[in-house]
């Protein structure tokens, strides 16, 4: 059974031992716990639908609740407190392009708007209905979930956009292939969602971001159908794939996608290394990226994340001895953990490992073998469940991410951490902030920031603390010319900063495309692109 107000399956937990809980209390103080709203009470608060009866339309309050929020921290606060300001009015489960087109006509007749829904994993508000006079229909894509065509000669696969990550990889593996797109939300997120938000997987350094994996797509729009056939390359004007990629449901519904696939690798392993300080590790990571050393993943944690990762990992006795050994080798409090993966053919992988170890040692690093990497690999999709555990202990957790050229990585990272730490200085609010580099490019890298803080007895106070920190961190990002989103998309939370990144001319170009595709403004209003009346940051 899937949790209705948290992440994942109810039976799956992320356990924390006493030493881990003690660590959190030492850093943040005691967490504040208050009873969550019950499912029965929240369902009872779902208002009557504003939509007429229709054979396709599900208006059951429990189904409407399930489709009314995603996985952002504001979503969690709303669900756990029962303070939900808006619900979808009905849910449909189309199974064909014809049914999607018919729904467009029904929505216009009803005066309704449509929100596409894949796995419901958005952390920035993509699937949330907004208050207003127009009823809301959520279009659940789960029936668009099969492997439609496999071109083994070209290594192309056409797949329904509603397929989840595990289902997709199972289907391809039966034929000896994989896509290799592994976001942290892999367990529930969908192919269409990855395309709509320009997603990046944990091994995108090797397999590619979703925009590199997409060769073609089919989009149903209120203004018509758009079919983008796969071609290896084209000089026939601007690439329409990039109109669909990142469109976040504002143009229409992505129903199927043609993706570039690979044969299953012969070997895949993950490894660990420690550096004495952040700059040494960063230098090694930048070299690996710019020298194009073909590892499949690189992740460098800062000292606080390294300490927190080890503290929350459990196995206290092992960690104590590991800490003593590292200190004897002069890897002290400033040490940084690097994990990396190697994927491919056996002989090729051995050569990549030797070269990577050489780079690590040349920069004062200590290669530690497979133990840490293997532990990460086994639990790579379990980490989101930590949010449930922390909430039950009285702590809220959220993340944000950006990317910029190497020349600005350190300055931007410091500015974001300082911005998120400011509530501690301002109001005595304790915040634990840490970061890592997890996606690297020849010209730059992404910065992924995690922050934890104790919840308040009043859910509104917890939400206001989050809003303050999110705003301060976002302004630090745009002030340092980082992208407002490297992998989570725009949705609601990043929308105020779009004009700063795209410029007013660029923003107007995107809005005009959206107006053509969606002339009656029925597709996911309020997401990605600001309405003319909304406040946007342009200075």
Task: DSSP for 203-243, please give it.
Answer: THHHH--HHHHEEEEEEEETTEEEEE---S---SSS-THHH
Residues 272, 250 within the same domain:
no
Between these two residues, 314 and 513, which has the higher pLDDT value? 513
Q: pLDDT at position 328, please?
A: 83
Q: pLDDT at position 132, please?
A: 96
Q: Residue 41 sits in a domain of what CATH number?
A: 3.30.43.10
pTM score: 0.96
Element housing 158 (H / E): strand 156-160
What is the rounded average pLDDT for all residues in the chain? 95
> What is the dihedral sign for C-alpha 375, 377, 382, 384?
positive
For range 237-254, the mean pLDDT: 98
Residues 251, 280 within the same domain:
no
Beta carbons within 10 angstroms of residue 149's beta carbon:
11
Element housing 275 (H / E): strand 267-275
Residues 275, 356 within the same domain:
yes
Containing domain of residue 61, as a range? 31-140
Rounded Cα distance, 167 and 173, in Å: 10
Rounded Cα distance, 169 and 242, in Å: 24
Element housing 64 (H / E): helix 61-66
- On whether residue 160 sits in a domain, the answer given is yes
- On whether residue 186 sits in a domain, the answer given is yes
Which of the residue ranges 132-146, 161-175, 308-322, 514-528 would you say has the lowest mean pLDDT?
A: 308-322
Q: Which of 330, 340, 276, 270 is nearest to 306 (CA)?
A: 276
Residues 101, 165 within the same domain:
no
Query: Which of 380, 410, 443 delimits the end of a domain?
Result: 380
pLDDT digit string, tens, across residues 372-391: 999 999 999 999 999 999 99
Gyration radius (Cα) of the chain, Å: 23
Rounded Cα distance, 181 and 296, in Å: 12
Tell me: pLDDT of 321 over 70.
no
Which of the residue ranges 94-103, 218-227, 303-312 would you say has the lowest mean pLDDT?
A: 303-312
- On whether residue 475 sits in a domain, the answer given is no
- On whether residue 356 sits in a domain, the answer given is yes
> What is the dihedral sign for C-alpha 48, 51, 52, 53?
negative
Rounded Cα distance, 349 and 324, in Å: 32
The answer to whether 361 and 320 are in contact (CB under 8 A) is: no
What's the token pair of residue 110?
A: 């009803």
Rounded Cα distance, 539 and 530, in Å: 16
Residues 191, 112 within the same domain:
no
- On whether residue 4 sits in a domain, the answer given is no
Q: pLDDT at position 330, please?
A: 86
Check residue 331 and report its DSSP letter: -
- On whether residue 438 sits in a domain, the answer given is no
Which of the residue ranges 38-47, 124-133, 275-284, 523-532 would you say has the lowest mean pLDDT?
A: 523-532
Residues 123, 49 within the same domain:
yes
Band (318; pLDDT cuts 50, 70, 90): low
- On whether residue 217 sits in a domain, the answer given is yes
Q: pLDDT at position 370, please?
A: 96
Tell me: pLDDT of 535 over 70.
no
What's the token pair of residue 395?
A: 């702590």
pLDDT digit string, tens, across residues 10-26: 999 999 999 899 999 99
What's the token pair of residue 480?
A: 């340092």
Q: At what angle do helices 406-427 and 459-479 cross, to 10 degrees?
A: 150
- On whether residue 387 sits in a domain, the answer given is no
Band (329; pLDDT cuts 50, 70, 90): confident
Residues 42, 131 within the same domain:
yes
Q: Residue 166 sits in a domain of what CATH number?
A: 3.30.465.10
Residues 106, 42 within the same domain:
yes
> What is the dihedral sign for C-alpha 502, 505, 506, 510?
positive
Rounded Cα distance, 475 and 416, in Å: 9
What's the token pair of residue 203?
A: 């091994």
Q: CA separation (Å) from 532 to 264, 493, 499, 535, 538?
A: 48, 17, 12, 8, 14
Band (316; pLDDT cuts 50, 70, 90): low
Query: Which of 263, 288, 315 delimits the end of a domain?
Result: 263
- Torsion from C-alpha of 62, 63, 64, 65, nearest 10 degrees: 50
Residues 115, 90 within the same domain:
yes
Which of the residue ranges 176-180, 359-363, 419-423 would you say has the lowest mean pLDDT?
A: 419-423
Q: pLDDT at position 304, please?
A: 97
Rounded Cα distance, 2 and 230, in Å: 36
What's the token pair of residue 214?
A: 């997409």
For range 81-104, the mean pLDDT: 98
Query: Which of 323, 354, 380 delimits the end of a domain?
Result: 380
Q: pLDDT at position 322, please?
A: 74
Residues 280, 251 within the same domain:
no
* Token pair 């990577």: residue: 356
Q: Residue 302 sits in a domain of what CATH number?
A: 3.30.70.3450
Rounded Cα distance, 211 and 213, in Å: 5
Band (531; pLDDT cuts 50, 70, 90): confident
Structural domains of the chain, count: 4
For range 398-423, the mean pLDDT: 95
Residues 201, 162 within the same domain:
yes
Band (324; pLDDT cuts 50, 70, 90): confident
For range 440-444, the mean pLDDT: 97
Residues 68, 94 within the same domain:
yes
pLDDT digit string, tens, across residues 362-373: 999 999 999 999
Question: Could you give the 3-state DSSP secondary structure of residue 25?
Answer: helix
Output phi, psi for 509, to 5 deg.
Answer: -60, -45
For range 122-145, the mean pLDDT: 98
């Amino acid at each position: 059974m899937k949790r209705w107000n948290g992440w994942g399956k109810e039976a799956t937990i992320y356990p924390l031992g006493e030493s881990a809980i003690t660590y959190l209390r030492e850093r943040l103080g005691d967490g504040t716990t208050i009873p969550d709203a019950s499912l029965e009470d929240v369902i009872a608060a779902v208002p009557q639908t504003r939509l007429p009866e229709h054979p396709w339309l599900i208006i059951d309050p429990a189904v409407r609740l399930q489709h009314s929020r995603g996985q952002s921290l504001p979503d969690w606060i709303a669900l756990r407190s029962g303070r939900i300001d808006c619900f979808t009015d009905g849910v449909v489960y189309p199974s064909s392009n014809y049914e999607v087109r018919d729904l467009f006509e029904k929505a216009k007749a009803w005066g309704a708007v449509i929100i596409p829904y894949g796995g419901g994993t958005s952390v920035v508000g993509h699937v949330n209905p907004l208050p207003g006079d127009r009823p809301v229909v959520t279009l659940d894509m789960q029936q668009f979930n099969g492997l439609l065509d496999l071109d083994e000669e070209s290594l192309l696969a056409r797949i329904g956009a509603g397929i989840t990550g595990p289902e997709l990889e199972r289907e391809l593996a039966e034929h000896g292939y994989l896509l290799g797109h592994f976001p942290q939300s892999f367990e529930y997120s969908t192919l269409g969602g990855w395309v709509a938000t320009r997603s990046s997987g944990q091994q995108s350094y090797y397999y590619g971001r979703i925009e590199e994996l997409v060769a073609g797509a089919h989009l149903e729009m209120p203004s018509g159908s758009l079919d983008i056939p796969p071609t290896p390359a084209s000089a026939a004007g601007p690439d329409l794939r990039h109109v669909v990629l990142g469109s976040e449901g504002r143009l229409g519904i992505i129903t199927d996608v043609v993706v570039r696939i690979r044969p299953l690798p012969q070997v895949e392993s993950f490894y660990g290394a420690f550096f004495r300080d952040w700059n040494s590790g960063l230098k090694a990571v930048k070299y690996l990226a710019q020298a194009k050393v073909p590892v499949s993943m690189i992740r460098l944690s800062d000292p606080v994340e390294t300490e927190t990762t080890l503290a929350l990992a459990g196995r206290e006795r092992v960690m104590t001895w590991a800490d003593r050994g590292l200190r004897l080798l002069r890897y002290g409090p400033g040490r940084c953990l690097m994990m990396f993966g190697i994927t491919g053919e056996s002989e090729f992988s051995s050569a990549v490992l030797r070269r990577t170890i050489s780079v690590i040692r040349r920069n004062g690093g200590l290669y530690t073998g497979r133990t840490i990497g293997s532990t990460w690999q086994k639990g790579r999709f379990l980490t989101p469940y930590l949010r449930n555990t922390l909430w039950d202990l009285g702590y809220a957790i959220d993340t944000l991410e950006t990317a910029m050229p190497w020349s600005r990585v350190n300055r931007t990272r410091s500015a974001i951490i300082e911005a998120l730490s400011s509530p501690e200085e301002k109001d005595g609010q304790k915040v634990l902030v840490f970061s890592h580099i997890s996606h690297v490019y020849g010209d730059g890298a992404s910065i992924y920031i995690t922050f934890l803080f104790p919840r308040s007895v009043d859910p509104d106070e917890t939400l206001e603390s989050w809003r303050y920190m999110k705003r301060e961190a976002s302004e630090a990002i745009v002030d340092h010319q980082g992208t407002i989103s490297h992998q989570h998309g725009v949705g609601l939370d990043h929308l105020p900063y779009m004009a700063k990144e795209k410029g007013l001319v660029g923003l107007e170009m995107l809005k005009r495309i959206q107006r053509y595709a969606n002339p009656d403004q029925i597709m996911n209003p309020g997401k990605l692109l600001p309405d003319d009346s909304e406040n946007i940051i342009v200075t």
